[in-house]
């Protein structure tokens, strides 16, 4: 099977919904490079470190543009270090390989008082991957995110259902996706490790 190279920006409908696990799946599947432009908090266990730990094959991990100590929204973390994040600070890493870029939180997470994650996606010119997890309110958060992507003319390449979804929730979300968006379902992992992640990668079909 020939895998078409991809450059994708992974975002979510909120925080803590499994973007890094989903990014690891995509990085492994496409044998891609990985880049986390902004790490806000958890500097001893960063998302880049998790990708390196979970992906079976050697992966090129590009360094973060910002590594901020405070575990908070990037605009707050940066301000605590007397920094202001600007869109001009970010350039896609040079690579001939596929590239998975992972954002911070959801589309409206502020990088500064005037700049948000969605602005970074537009600046980098990448199609998006939107990750969702099933919880009370996820339909609302998903539909708002989809609407924002459409209004900003950002193509949604993949929608990732992370974990088990109530059938009624799944149906409403799926019917609001464009026909061009590929749906990926990632099973809940009781134990997150390299072996279990690799099993998911091997089972991917609609990609």
Which value, in Å, is the radius of gyration of the alpha carbons in the chain?
A: 16
Q: How far apart are CA 117 and CA 93, in angstroms?
A: 18
- What sign for the dihedral angle of Cα 129, 130, 134, 135? positive
Look up 36 and say whether it is catalytic: yes
Q: How many residues does the chain have?
A: 207
Question: Is 37 within any annotated ligand binding site?
Answer: no
14 labelled binding-site residue: no
**Any known ligand binding at 41?**
no
Catalytic member of 7, 31, 36, 52 = 36
**Annotated binding residue 19:** yes
104 annotated as a binding-site residue: yes
Phi-psi region of 111 (alpha: psi -120 to 50; beta: other; left: phi over 0): alpha
Tell me 196's DSSP state.
Answer: H
State yes or no: 187 annotated in a binding site. Answer: yes
Residue 24 among known ligand-binding residues:
no
Does the annotation place 103 within a ligand binding site? yes
21 carries a ligand binding annotation: yes
- Has 73 been labeled as part of a binding site? no
Helix (H), strand (E) at residue 33? strand 33-35
DSSP output for 58-112: ---EEPPSEEESSSS-HHHHHHHTT----GGG--PPP-SS-EEEEEEEETT-BSS
Residues belonging to the binding site for substrate are: 40
Residues belonging to the binding site for Mg(2+) are: 20, 47, 102
Residues belonging to the binding site for ATP are: 16-21, 47, 102-105, 187-189
Which residues are identified as catalytic?
36
Residues belonging to the binding site are: 16-21, 40, 47, 102-105, 187-189
């Amino acid at each position: 099977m020939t895998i078409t190279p991809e450059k994708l920006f992974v975002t979510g409908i909120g925080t803590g919904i499994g973007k890094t696990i989903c990014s690891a799946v995509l990085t492994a599947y496409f044998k891609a490079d990985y880049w986390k432009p902004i790490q806000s908090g958890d500097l001893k266990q960063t998302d880049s470190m998790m990708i390196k730990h979970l992906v079976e094959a050697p992966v090129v991990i590009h360094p973060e543009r910002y590594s901020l100590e405070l575990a908070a929204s990037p605009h707050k973390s940066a301000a605590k270090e007397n920094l202001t994040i600007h869109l001009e600070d970010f350039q896609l890493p040079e690579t001939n390989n596929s590239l998975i870029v992972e954002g911070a939180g959801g589309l409206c997470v502020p990088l500064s008082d005037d700049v948000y994650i969605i602005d970074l996606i537009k600046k980098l010119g990448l199609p998006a991957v939107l990750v969702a997890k099933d919880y009370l309110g996820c339909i609302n958060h998903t539909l708002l995110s989809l609407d924002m992507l459409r209004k900003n003319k950002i193509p949604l390449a993949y929608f990732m259902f992370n974990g088990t979804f109530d059938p009624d929730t799944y149906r409403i979300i799926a019917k609001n996706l464009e026909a061009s968006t590929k749906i990926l379902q990632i099973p809940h992992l009781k134990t997150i490790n390299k072996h279990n992640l690799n099993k998911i990668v091997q089972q991917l079909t609609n990609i």
